[in-house]
């Protein structure tokens, strides 16, 4: 298997010569009509695209009892408008855990359909507990459903006592109220549900475009059902280490924030920001200490915001930064928030997602999947030591990625054993990854690449943010993915898009 050092040596500028690899065999054309699904009009609330149809897929609540209780999953399809060009179904697999596939299709379906030019029906579904699918509920209290508490930010002095108490309380709520629905929130079940959908669609094989956590779902599917994969795209992958799984993904956010922050600093110090009132410093290197000092001051003296009862604290500012780093488009709003906090007369306006609690169902999914997938360490002193070290090494994230979660008190432990991704299977995987990703850092993506071995090729893109294809305007990266999905041609080697 190629080493990381060797793979880095293969990161060449993408060119027509490099991309001109071997076309992959197609998956065959399945009937346009999907057996086992009754397609109808979509609920207007999902904001369907023109031509989009919706259905409900019935799957077992527990695959150990396939004839037992069934639950419904929301499915959406955007049929090919060129039947003569259609070669199969392309699954749009969302991130999260907890993101809606139906919503993702609505957001990206038009642009994706244009790129595919009729080659596929585009299909997505809401995983268990999400969107229009069967719901799971732990019955979390309102304060436990805020993003700044679902993410375990330590206290201003680095203490984790409050995090420990909250984590224990949330684990107990899920054990008390969640039942079989919460225990069924696993990557393994999402993979099984995806294969049930493949059967209902009448497809022998599927192609896929997966993003973020969805890349892990896609990787596990490719490991479990390699013969049922056609053209498989993993966009923004994390380390699939079966000993850590989501614990490793969370830890990676510390490195990711450090990789990405210089992009925001350069933007916030650029002279063009002055006319917008958003220039935070004259030099990029001054933005980081400005942010860290402001967060520390807000730890000591929170500022009242426009949301009654919800002040701007250092923790809220740090969480707002994490969200900002996902996309350049979020830079202006965060710079404005910092400017408001720096102005003695300013009244900060919180991002909507930080102004109140999220629904219990959304919080339940985000906790349930990561806790059911793998056993987490349970030693509180070990977390205290890890947080202290992480705060020194990665001050932007202040120890949050190393902190304790409800998974450390999860009743019953993990559901099954995580899947190890290997290089055994067809060579039909294309990975694409930003060099400066705040959530799934490039170094973590290389771990997924290493696990797949010669099954995969990696397109690295010299951009920042989370999500690459049809997301950051890089024609080189977009072109590589489009060509692979429509023509079956991958780069002959790992490549770098400048």
Q: Which two tokens stand for residue 80?
A: 């090919």
Q: What is the pLDDT of residue 36?
A: 77
Please compute, for residue 454, the number of CA atoms within 13 A of its CA located in the half-sphere on the CB side: 3
Domains of the chain as residue ranges with CATH: 4-135+183-245+420-497 (3.40.50.1820)
The torsion region of residue 433 among left (phi > 0), alpha (psi -120 to 50) and beta comes to: beta
Please compute, for residue 214, the number of CA atoms within 13 A of its CA located in the half-sphere on the CB side: 28
* Whole-number Å distance between alpha carbons of 388 and 391: 5
Tokens 């933007």 — which residue?
267
Q: Which two tokens stand for residue 297?
A: 């001051």
Q: What is the pLDDT of residue 17?
A: 30
Phi, psi of 206 (to 5 degrees): -120, 150
Predicted TM-score (pTM) of this structure: 0.93
3-class SS shares of the chain: helix, strand, coil, % to 5: 45, 15, 40
* Whole-number Å distance between alpha carbons of 34 and 206: 13
Q: In 10 A of CB 1, how many CB atoms?
A: 12
Q: How far is CA 149 from CA 143, 163, 178, in A?
A: 7, 8, 20
Nearest to 174 by CA among 133, 140, 141: 140
Question: Under 8 Å CB-to-CB from 146, ≥6 apart: which residues?
Answer: 354, 356, 357, 358
Q: What is the pLDDT of residue 144?
A: 97
Instruction: Spell out the per-residue pLDDT of the chain, length 498, in tens.
Output: 433 334 333 333 333 333 333 333 333 343 434 447 999 999 999 999 999 999 999 999 999 999 999 999 999 999 999 999 999 999 999 999 999 999 999 999 999 999 999 999 999 999 999 999 999 999 999 999 999 999 999 999 999 999 999 999 999 999 999 999 999 999 999 999 999 999 999 999 999 999 999 999 999 999 999 999 999 999 999 999 999 999 999 999 999 999 999 999 999 999 999 999 999 999 999 999 999 999 999 999 999 999 999 999 999 999 999 999 999 999 999 999 999 999 999 999 999 999 999 999 999 999 999 999 999 999 999 999 999 999 999 999 999 999 999 999 999 999 999 999 999 999 999 999 999 999 999 999 999 999 999 999 999 999 999 999 999 999 999 999 999 999 999 999 999 999
DSSP 8-state secondary structure symbol assigned to residue 421: P
DSSP per residue over 33-100, as a string?
S-TT---BPPPGGG-PPTT-EEEEEEEES-TTSTTS-EEEEEEEEE--S-GGG--EEEEEE--TTT--
Q: How far is CA 108 from CA 49, 115, 116, 470, 486, in A?
A: 10, 11, 12, 8, 17
Q: What is the largest CA-CA distance in the chain?
A: 66
């Amino acid at each position: 298997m190629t080493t990381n050092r060797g793979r880095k040596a293969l990161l060449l500028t993408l060119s027509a010569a490099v991309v001109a690899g071997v076309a992959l065999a197609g998956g065959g054309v399945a009937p346009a009509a999907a057996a086992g699904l009754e397609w109808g009009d979509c609920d207007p609330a999902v904001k369907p695209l023109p031509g989009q149809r919706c259905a409900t897929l019935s799957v077992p609540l527990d695959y150990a009892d396939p004839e037992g209780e069934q639950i419904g999953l929301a499915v959406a399809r955007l049929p090919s408008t060129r039947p003569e060009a259609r070669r199969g179904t392309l699954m749009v697999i969302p991130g999260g855990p907890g993101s809606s596939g139906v919503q993702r299709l609505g957001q990206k379906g038009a642009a994706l359909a244009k790129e595919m030019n009729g080659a596929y029906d585009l299909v997505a579904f809401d995983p268990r507990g999400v969107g229009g699918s069967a719901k799971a509920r732990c019955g979390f209290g309102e304060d436990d459903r805020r993003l700044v508490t679902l993410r375990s930010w330590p206290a201003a002095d680095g203490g984790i006592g409050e995090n420990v108490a909250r984590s224990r309380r949330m684990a107990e709520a899920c054990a008390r109220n969640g039942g079989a629905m919460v225990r069924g929130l696993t990557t393994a079940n999402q993979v099984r549900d995806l294969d049930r959908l493949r059967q209902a669609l009448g497809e022998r094989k599927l192609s896929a475009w997966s993003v973020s956590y969805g890349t892990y779902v896609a990787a596990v599917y490719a490991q479990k059902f390699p013969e049922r994969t056609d053209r498989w795209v993993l966009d923004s992958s994390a380390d699939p280490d079966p000993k850590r799984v989501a614990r490793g993904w969370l830890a990676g956010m510390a490195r990711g924030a450090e990789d990405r922050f210089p992009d925001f600093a350069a933007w916030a110090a650029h002279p063009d920001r002055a006319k917008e009132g958003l220039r935070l410093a004259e030099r990029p290197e001054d933005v980081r200490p400005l942010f860290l000092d402001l967060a520390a001051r807000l730890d000591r003296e929170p500022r009242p915001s426009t949301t009654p009862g919800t002040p701007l604290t250092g923790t809220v500012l740090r969480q707002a930064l994490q969200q900002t780093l996902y996309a350049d488009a979020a830079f202006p709003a965060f710079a404005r928030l910092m400017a408001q906090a720096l102005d003695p007369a300013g009244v900060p306006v919180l991002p909507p997602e930080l102004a109140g609690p999220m629904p219990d169902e959304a919080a339940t999914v985000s906790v349930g999947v990561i806790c059911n997938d793998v056993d987490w360490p349970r030693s509180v002193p070990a977390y205290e030591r890890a947080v202290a070290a992480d705060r020194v090494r990665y001050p932007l994230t202040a120890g949050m990625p190393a902190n304790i979660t409800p998974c450390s008190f999860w009743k019953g432990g993990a559901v099954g054993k995580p899947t190890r991704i290997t290089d055994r299977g067809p060579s039909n995987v294309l990975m694409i990854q930003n060099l400066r990703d705040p959530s799934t850092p490039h170094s973590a993506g290389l771990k997924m690449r290493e696990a797949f071995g010669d099954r995969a090729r990696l397109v690295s893109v010299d951009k920042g943010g989370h999500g690459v294809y049809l997301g950051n305007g890089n024609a080189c990266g977009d072109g590589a993915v489009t060509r692979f999905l429509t023509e079956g041609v991958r780069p002959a080697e790992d490549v770098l898009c400048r």
